[in-house]
């Protein structure tokens, strides 16, 4: 299978790239002109990457692309402008869909977020959530013409080795390993934590199931189907780290409009034969090991 992958340098994208190559897929990548692909070349060898300014040329050079897997995103952190978030999360993928339809690409797989919910209005990462919702609606609009298949994968709380140190799970692991005093909310809110290995398996399962299925919109929640209190998750992190960290639950207020229980409905994925395989404790251990290995490399 020949696949065009966006966001290959990101947390999810790097794991998807490794999985696709392991399946002997021919993988093309899009990247910004300023993106450093050195770490990917070092790990995977020669790869074919195209600048985002060359999108049209990708499809004229490779008319046999079978699917686009869109994992690129801009969270709106680090003072990222609304224009940058809009371009990365709406304008860029809309252009990709437009070109895919023009060049008869059969399938577009989109990585959505559990923040995109009609049940709760959550202010956290508001520009990111707004842009993801808009693009999901654009994808559904385009798919309803019957000219392309659009599979929307709503990712729940993704975690695992290789994620950015500022993200919630690696940050908690790092601070527990350091024995810090950590101010937290009450921790009563519940999240569906899904390990990166299970998420990648879900994407590949959908990709193979949707290939050749034809036009239309399909939705899949990507989570375990079980939610866990934040408090219980962090206490498990502390225990597995054998940590002396002091956890100050209730020291911080909850964010406005925060989800009290975010849990995936996994029936659609399970009908394809997918099941989650990485338990919470085993998953947390992979993060602890990864952070420990990265610390050794920097000393």
Catalytic residue among 25, 122, 128, 159: 128
CB–CB of 90/138 below 8 Å?
yes
Q: Angle CA(195)–CA(246)–CA(189) in degrees, nearest 5? A: 45
3-state SS assignment for residue 125: coil
b/e for 14-25, b at 16 or more Cβ within 10 A?
bbbbbbbeeeeb
Cα dihedral across residues 295, 15, 141, 65: positive or negative:
positive
Of 82, 79, 90, nearest to 132 by C-alpha is: 90
Other beta carbons within 10 Å of 291: 21
To the query of whether residue 124 is one of the catalytic residues in this protein, the response is no
- For residue 100, give both structure tokens: 């895919």
How far is it, in rounded angstroms, from Cα 290 to Cα 279?
17
Q: What is the DSSP letter of 11?
A: H
Catalytic residue set? 128
């Amino acid at each position: 299978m020949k696949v065009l992958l966006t966001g290959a340098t990101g947390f999810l994208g790097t794991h998807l790239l490794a999985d696709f190559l392991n399946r002997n897929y021919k993988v093309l990548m899009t990247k910004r002109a300023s993106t450093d692909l050195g770490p990917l070349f070092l790990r995977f060898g020669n790869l074919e990457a195209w600048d985002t300014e060359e999108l049209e040329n990708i499809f004229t050079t490779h008319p046999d692309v079978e699917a686009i897997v869109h994992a690129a995103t801009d969270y709106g952190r680090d003072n990222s402008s609304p224009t940058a978030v809009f371009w990365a999360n709406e304008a860029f993928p809309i252009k990709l869909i437009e070109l895919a339809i023009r060049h008869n690409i059969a399938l577009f797989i989109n990585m959505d977020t559990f923040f995109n919910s009609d049940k709760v209005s959550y202010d956290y990462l508001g520009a990111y959530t707004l842009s993801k919702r808009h693009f999901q609606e654009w994808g559904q609009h385009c798919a309803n013409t019957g000219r392309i298949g659009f599979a929307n994968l709503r990712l729940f709380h993704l975690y695992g080795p290789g994620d950015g140190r500022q993200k919630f799970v690696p940050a908690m692991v790092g601070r527990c390993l350091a024995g810090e005093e950590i101010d937290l909310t009450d921790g009563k809110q519940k999240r569906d934590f899904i390990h990166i290995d299970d998420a990648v398996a879900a994407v590949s399962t959908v990709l193979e199931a949707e290939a050749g299925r034809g036009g239309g919109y399909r939705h899949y929640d990507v989570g375990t189907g079980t939610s866990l209190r934040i408090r219980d998750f962090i206490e498990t992190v502390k225990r597995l780290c054998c940590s002396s960290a002091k956890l100050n639950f209730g020291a911080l207020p909850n964010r406005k409009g925060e989800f009290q229980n975010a849990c995936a409905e996994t029936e659609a994925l399970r009908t394809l034969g997918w099941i989650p395989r990485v338990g919470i404790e085993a998953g947390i251990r992979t993060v602890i090991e990864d952070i420990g290995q990265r610390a050794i490399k920097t000393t």
